[in-house]
Structure 1
Amino acid sequence: MSSSTLPRTPLSARVVALASVAVLGGAVLTACGSDAGSGEGSAQTGPVVVASTSVYADIAEQVAGGNAAVESVISDPAADPHSYEASPADAAAVTGADLVVYNGAGYDSFVDRALENADDVHVVRAVDEFERVTGETIAGHSHGDHDHGDEHDDEHGHEDEHGAEDGHDEHGDEHGHDDHGADDSHGGHDHDSDTNEHVWFSLPTAAAVAERVAEELAAIDEANAEEYRENADRFADSLAPLEAQLDEIHDRGHFAYAQTERIGAHLFDAAHMVDLTPRGFLASIEDDTDPSAADLSAMLDLMAEREVAFLAFNTQTETSVTARVRDAAESADVAVLDLTETLPEGMDYTEWMTQIVDSLSSALDGATPVDDGGH
């Protein structure tokens, strides 16, 4: 496979950029991997990988093993990547990296802005891998005033670089986004993939990201190419039991749910669940505005009348409105599934997804599906 690169940065520029990170960004960037070939008095000799969030840093680290230094720009579980404003040190880390791994589609747009000043940087963008495994394109998404979308796509040529290659395509077909749209009586949101950029909750996409990271690292560091590829295969294999568990949930029937923000929707789509969240409610929350009284009332009614099996709750973007919805769910004994946008401390990606899928399965115990699970 061909690697995705931008023109090469002169060595002197990269040295300056990395020095800037050391001076300015020690408290911002979190090192997730070990320095390749490090020892007493030795310097980093392997590739430098910078990821936008701890999620992508962990995937990259699992692929890199001990052969590369992996850093995450955002690792704070309380930080909101949608609105994150990168520091000069963050930008220097991106431009000084050998490989940058990020989400794309406006989710972590600070990376796009930093890449404007980058030269030879290999890039893995998760939304491209989502398109590769599903055939569905995710357009740039607006988040209030932080609407940077995909304004840099054409400039860096990320859009069609990898095409619709093979790889994990079978998962895209198997767990496709069936049209189990919400009941119109609730103003349900038809969460089309082009508006849901939270693609790390798609297990086939995570496996595809690992595969692409392996290929990019193999192009940078040919001596360890096979190890990178083997590590990516191992990572994909670790997700197979979770996909089987989602299939088992699907076999139990189509369960209804509501969400305060659609970060976990790709995972729920894999189990063919039905989202009853009012359209206007989600649109307002994701645009950082208050929902209308009608939308909030409809959301609260879903909880009070126990019309959903669970509420998916984004703890990283909690507001007084979403907290009120959570209170209503708990008062009605509706299960609440807590989700975050960065890795919980002490967990890797597979452990995190395992915890979420286990919690999802438990939340459905005793719940009544909206149909018998037939297609």
Structure 2
Amino acid sequence: MRCPVSLLSCLMVCGLSVGAVTAQARPLLVAAENTWGDLAEQIAEPDMEVRSILTQPALDPHLYEPGPAEGRLVHDAALIVANGAGYDPWIDRLAAARSGQPARLVRAQDVMTWHEGDNTHLWYNFKVVRAFVERLVTECQQADPIHSAAYATRGVAVLSAVGQVEQQAAQARTLIGGMVVAATEPVFTPLAERLGLIMKEQAFQLAIMNDVEPPASAVAAFHDDIEQQRIRMVAYNAQADRPSVQRLIALARQKAIPVLPVQEIMPQGLHWQSWVGQTIEHVIQALGKKQ
């Protein structure tokens, strides 16, 4: 029938509400980094809108300073996801500056026993990733109960994908476990431990992680281990380069020791499981093994 009144009146007369023809806004989940944001997206989408702040591998998360746009995102978020462990303190500041009801903040640090000075690169720690996924499913269900079953189903799928990466790592361990490697920064260390690799140059890594120049003794030890070819591979953080690191990488290449670039921000177009899986494959290849 033809409605002789305005559209709004017509909707009311026909027994419809304005909300029935207007897409209801989805809850917003904001992740500090896409490493955790991708896992969140696999669990929360399409029932939540997931936005990651750091998405470019060229960015150094340690030096990042958010602007007003990031502040508005965090202000509007129903859920906030972060690494924690002193890695991204700026997200805590933005969350604390929110007005009104506090947001649910899910940090990887909070699903494990983490102490000051422990490794902050938690996305390579499979136990932490598993616990994070389980916690986030619960938080999504509490923030959006109507889609509780969907969050649970997607969470199971993500945990299955994590399990596949764990199996891949276990198989790799049988090939490369016990090999001696080094790194310029402890980004790669949690994964190296899972693969059974023996990690050297800890003093050098700790200094770089704390953004100070390594002591001369640590530089000399690293240099000597490369010179004498005591290590099978050198991993380095492709996002936080400095002259002392560049010199060691150049020396490793000169001595035909494979170098492995690793990143803190996940390249776009990948899921966490494919990204970590590819990293494991690259390690195996660098160490001269085949799966």
* Amino acid paired to 1:273: L
Question: Larger Rg: 1 or 2?
Answer: 2
Relative to structure 1, is the Cα distance of residues 201 and 77 closer, same or farther in structure 2, using a 3 angstrom cutoff? same
Partner of 1:53: 33
Residues matched between the structures, number: 267
Counterparts of 2:169 and 2:228 in 1: how far apart (Å)? 26
State the distance in 2 between where 1:43 and 1:321 align.
54
- 2:188 corresponds in structure 1 to 264
CA distance in 2, matches of 1:223, 1:77: 36
1:296 partner letter: V
8 Å CA contact 1:77, 1:340 repeated in 2: yes
Alignment deviations for residues 64-114 of structure 1 (CA, whole Å, 9 cap, x no partner)? 121111111111211111121111221222122000000111100001111
| Residue type of the alignment partner of 1:341 | E
Structure 1 residues 264 and 103 mapped into 2: Cα distance closer, same or farther (>3 Å)?
same
Conserved? CA contact 1:75–1:342, under 8 Å = yes
Q: CA deviation at 1:288?
A: 2.2
Structure 2 counterpart of 1:103, from 55, 77, 83: 83
Tell me if the contact between 1:82 and 1:106 (Cα under 8 Å) persists in the aligned partners.
no
TM-score (norm 1): 0.67
Question: Equivalent residue for 1:92?
Answer: 72
Task: Give per-residue Cα distances to partners, 1:324-369, cap 9 Å, x unaligned.
Answer: 11111111111111110111122111110111011112222269xx
SS at match of 2:32: strand
Q: Secondary structure of 1:317's partner?
A: coil
Per the normalisation by structure 2, the TM-score is 0.86
| 1:126 and 2:108 are equivalent in the alignment | yes
Bigger helix share: 2
**Percent pairwise identity:** 28
Structure 1 residue 364 corresponds to structure 2 residue 287: yes
Q: Does the 8 Å CA contact 1:278/1:299 hold for their aligned counterparts? A: no
- Give yes or no for the alignment of 1:75 onto 2:55: yes
Partner of residue 6, structure 1: none
Give the letter for the 1:45 counterpart: A
**5 Å matches for 1:201-240?**
201-240=124-163
Structure 2, unmatched stretches of 5+, are 1-20
* Alpha-carbon distance in structure 2 between the residues aligned to 1:214 and 1:54: 17
| Counterpart position of 1:137 | 114
> 1:256·1:273 contact (CA, 8 Å) conserved in 2?
yes
State the one-letter code of the partner of 1:355. Answer: Q
1:327 aligns with 2:253: no
Gap runs ≥5 in structure 1: 1-40, 140-193, 368-375
Q: Which amino acid aligns with 1:99?
A: L
